[in-house]
A and B are shown apart, each in its own frame.
Chain A
Amino acid sequence: MNSELVLDMEQVSISYPVKGPVRSKRLRVVSDLDLTVARHETVALVGESGSGKSTTARAALRLLDSETGRISWAGVDVTQLSERQLRPLRSRAQMIFQDPYSSLNPAMTVFQLIAEALGQTSLPRTEWRGRVQQLLEDVGLSSGHADRYPYEFSGGQRQRVAIARALAFEPDLIICDEAVSALDVSTQNQIMALLARLREEHGIAYLFISHDLALVRHLAHRVLVMYAGRVVESGAPKDIFTSPRHPYTRALLSAVPQVSARSRQERGARIELPGDVPRPGSVTRGCVFRSRCPWAMPICAEEMPEPFITDEQTMAKCYLHTVGPKLQGGSVSSLPIPTVRDRAAGESTSVTPEPSSGTLRR
């Protein structure tokens, strides 16, 4: 039990109950997830819609119950704690969302919003005014903003208010769920610079959830790539982004649009992924990515590959490292892309029928 870890999730699986016509069952959306966030660290969780990123965030805060596994906050095992037992600990981890307009009460002024948070701390009421002013200045707003309502602010300013409110709890960890995705790119960078400054000044750690790989490249110390409820690769951004060890990471990187003509040329061919992400619970054996992987081998249908740890301490769950080309931790970028299947043909005839293109075959 490491108290230097503000968040420690070990072998966490999460499922949702689904009512069926005959009997109810549970759909597993996150499987065997290991995730740690150390003090002062920024960990990014990337992946496409349906990969389980937001579910993971909610489970990390115990807003959802996990099915198996263990969750600790700063060394305290919170997996089994009741809501009442959790309450005094809740202020340690805060969350900001994509759209602060829906998470900030529109009928409250900025002062009231932040004071509500201060009410959960031990700060005497007489000092609230001063603390609110200080928090607003911390996030680049002025004390004059305290008596305004959320609708009077632009998107970027509203996100600053949400950050000030989160800071009021003096948290160890802030979970940012697509917190800048809806903003113009220039505003995104202003908010990211603010988050970086707050990390240095207050020692806050972040779990940063995003579908934007290039953005994550700029701010994360560690990146976890999720696909269909599993972490398929993790490591330092410079390793993951320059020499991906998992085919899905390579496919994601090959699809990121690039402004620079030089980068577009160097990026190489895009890897087309036929079909859609498998539906939750549809892959019960083998690798979750195999139905769309250009390099899938027979063994991939047998069992989920074990984590392969490379010399750079990145982790990839892929048989390419031990079977077939035996990359032994080398980059999958070196592999030639097998003959590109005709897109239409690829989508209609999935290689393996079991996790077929989900939404179209309901």
Chain B
Amino acid sequence: MSDVPLLEIVDLTIDVAAEGRWRRAVDGVSVTVARQEIRGLVGESGSGKTLTALAVMGLLSKTSTRVVGGQIRFNGVDLLSQSPRELRRFQGAQLAMVFQEPMSSLNPAFTVGDQISEVLRHHEGMSKGAARTRAAALLNDVGIPEPTRQLDRYPHEFSGGMRQRVMIAIALACKPQLLIADEPTTALDVTVQAQILDLIRGLSAEYGMAVLFISHDLGAVAELCSEVTVLYAGEVVESGTAPLLFSTPKHPYTGGLLASVHSLDDTSRLGWIEGRPPQPGHFPVGCRFHPRCVFASAKCVDSRPELRALDGRQVRCLRAEEIELEGRP
């Protein structure tokens, strides 16, 4: 059992409804998250990060998306072939997710105590009293002072950072083996962001929990993650350990993202990638990145690169050996 990876996404392919047709949005994405690993999933808006995460959680919209291929194995069990009823045993219990805007995920009409207890009573069958005691302990775990008093407060009475802590407490309620965090710090101030990243790191160690951290903020990913997968136009373009990818990127897209990062101590450069990411249904032929790539040659237009192993990571670029990219060591 323990030699099976915690989460294996294999060739996941998802269509979205756009312009009156099904359009390919996630195209054969494979990502593995090992037990207790913290992996970052990065890419610009529209790269397929969030769709991938929602597919793992079984939260894709039935009307506007459809999974057309691939497997999502959690502890060896293919989640995609489970009935909704069977799935519910995983959701919120072994698998949990936090989102960017905690205010829209919390119910404004219920106290935070009620919302944490609900999870515990549903999944663990706890009594009202036991659930309340455990809820207070969870609030304490996520660094909320005077937890017992806070149980009877409503979401609007908390600041943005504190609300995100409440969301994390709800996600942790059943000690999940995997936490999916989708841009959890994007809306927060930088000092609060640093606290939440610390909290996720600490809880991951304490609970032995793996984390799939979705972000477009490479700084936050570098602070938190040991592994990184870069998505572009619905495909994995580079994947490996965070220090390796950030110091010596091999895919021009990773290189472009790194060049765009604002740095506090190196202001000499302010790079960017020309143009913008393609929308589902409009992915270019050949290498999908070639229209924006400064290194693109004729072969990049003609043939589609495969994901392959190079210098200790996976990379999808025909010219990876020939080009020199600057990283952020």
Contacts and interface: CB of A to CB of B under 8 A. Distances in A.
A259 B263 contact: yes
B201 to A, nearest CB: 12
Given A154-B276, A344-B145, A359-B159, A261 B264 contact: no
A213 interface: yes
Given A260-B329, A358-B159, A189 B265 contact: no
A218 B270 contact: yes
B256 interface: yes
A262 interface: yes
Contact of A359 (B157, B191, B194): B157
A215 B191 contact: no
B271 A360 contact: no
Contacts of B143: 343-344, 347
A360 B157 contact: yes
Interface stretch (A28-36, A112-120, A249-257): A249-257
Interface stretch (B51-59, B81-89, B215-223): B215-223
A185 interface: yes
A187 B223 CA distance: 23
Contacts of B208: none
B189 interface: yes
A186 interface: yes
B38 to A, nearest CB: 14
Contacts of B277: 184
Interface string B146-172: 100010010001111010000000000
Contact of B265 (A49, A185, A263, A276): A263
Nearest to A274: B145
Nearest to B150: A360
A278 to B, nearest CB: 12
Contacts of A255: 190-191, 193-194
Interface residues of B, number: 49
A261 B262 contact: no
A273 B159 CA distance: 15
A264 B329 CA distance: 10
Contacts of A213: 190, 264
A348 B150 CA distance: 12
A337 interface: no
A152 B261 CA distance: 28
B51 to A, nearest CB: 17
Contacts of B256: 186
Contacts of B145: 344, 347-348, 357, 360
Interface in B118-159: 140, 143, 145-146, 150, 153, 157-159
Interface string A331-353: 00000000000011001100000
A190 B298 CA distance: 27
Given A211-B189, A358-B159, A186 B329 contact: no
A84 interface: no
A270 interface: yes
B260 A186 contact: yes
Given A255-B191, A264-B223, A185 B261 contact: yes
Nearest to B263: A214
Contacts of A241: 264-265
B105 interface: no
Interface string A230-273: 00000001000110000000011111111111111010001011
Contacts of B197: 257
Contacts of A254: 194
B223 A257 contact: yes
Interface of B: 44-45, 140, 143, 145-146, 150, 153, 157-160, 162, 189-195, 197, 216-220, 222-223, 243, 246-247, 256-258, 260-265, 267, 270-273, 276-277, 328-329
8 contacts: A185-B217, A185-B260, A192-B270, A213-B190, A251-B191, A257-B222, A263-B328, A359-B157
Given A190-B272, A242-B265, 14 more contacts: A184-B45, A185-B257, A185-B260, A185-B261, A186-B256, A186-B273, A217-B263, A252-B191, A256-B264, A260-B222, A260-B263, A343-B143, A348-B145, A359-B157
Interface of A: 48-49, 154-156, 184-190, 192-193, 211-215, 217-218, 237, 241-242, 251-264, 266, 270, 272-273, 276, 343-344, 347-348, 357-360, 362
Of all A-B residue pairs in the complex, the 7 with the closest CB atoms, nearest first, are A257-B219, A348-B145, A214-B262, A48-B189, A189-B272, A255-B194, A260-B328
